[in-house]
Amino acid sequence: MTTPPDIWLSTPTPPRRQGAPGLFLDRDGVLVKEVNYLKNKEDVALETGAAEIVAWGRAKGFGLVCVTNQSGIARGLISWAEFEAVEMEIARQLREQEGTLDLTLACPFHPDFTDGYGPEQDRWRKPGPAMIEHGAALMGLDLAKSWLVGDKAADIEAAKRAGLKGAVIVATGYGAEEREAAMAQESKGFTVLSAATLDEARALLEMAF
């Protein structure tokens, strides 16, 4: 799968972790506290437990991939330069707490704001599965053993469509209001767990992986 030019990757060559499970993490409302259209690096604050879940995944040997919709870019609210400054700040704050991600993918598309938005763009924007599939392909991750943590039903649906083993809806960010729709994604072969906090999500994943 080739990456469309508008999909942002933190690195084109993430580490290979052939056959390892992936831990896919949403960004806004999960890794960092939800800020409507986060554009200023001064507003970056890690969610409680974010660095810990990343460090835990690292210790377990999982591939650590952030997948984030950034429609603020299509809407003209956030520039790529502002987005990248925010990403640098997230990485810096994670590093301070011994957490590093292997890869981040960001999708700028929005059906109402992206010229020529069609099925291809729709596969990349969550709940489309393409960011997860592409991250896994770049790193050699085993999707069927992988999990995702998100705060929206669209995150959970993307995980399901990518063929992950399961996902955790966490009540940070939009998670409390999205919980019911997220839980409804559970089906045969796809587990959805609910956690109040990222620390609780980590404890559930410790048992589930």
Residues with a known catalytic role: 26, 28
Considering beta carbons, is residue 20 or 23 the nearer one to Mg ion? Answer: 23
| Cβ atoms within 10 Å, residue 59 | 9
The two tokens of residue 149 are: 């943590």
Per-position x/- string for 168-197, each x denoting binding to Mg ion as judged by CB under 5 A, each - no binding = -----x------------------------
17, 141 Cβ separation under 8 angstroms:
yes
Residues found in the chain = 209
CA distance 40 to 42: 5
- DSSP letter assigned to residue 127: T
Q: If binding is defined by CB under 5 A, does position 26 make contact with Mg ion?
A: yes
The two tokens of residue 48 are: 């409680």
Minimum CB–partner distance for residue 182 and Mg ion (Å):
11
Minimum CB–partner distance for residue 31 and Mg ion (Å):
9
Q: Which of 28, 47, 87, 133 binds Mg ion (CB under 5 A)?
A: 28
| Strands 22-25, 103-107: pairing kind | unpaired
**Secondary structure element (H or E) that encloses residue 106, with its range:** strand 103-107
Residue showing the smallest CB distance to Mg ion in the complex: 29
- DSSP letter assigned to residue 34: -
Identity (one letter) of the amino acid at 173? G
Minimum CB–partner distance for residue 173 and Mg ion (Å):
5
Considering beta carbons, is residue 20 or 131 the nearer one to Mg ion? Answer: 131
Number of residues that bind Mg ion (CB under 5 A): 5
CA distance 81 to 73: 10
Per-position x/- string for 74-113, each x denoting binding to Mg ion as judged by CB under 5 A, each - no binding = ----------------------------------------
Minimum CB–partner distance for residue 41 and Mg ion (Å):
18
Minimum CB–partner distance for residue 26 and Mg ion (Å):
4
Helix extents (H) in 48-103: 50-60, 71-74, 80-96
Q: Which of the ranges 56-64, 92-100, 107-115, 150-158 carries the binding residues for Mg ion, by CB under 5 A?
A: 150-158
Residues interacting with Mg ion, by CB under 5 A? 26, 28-29, 151, 173
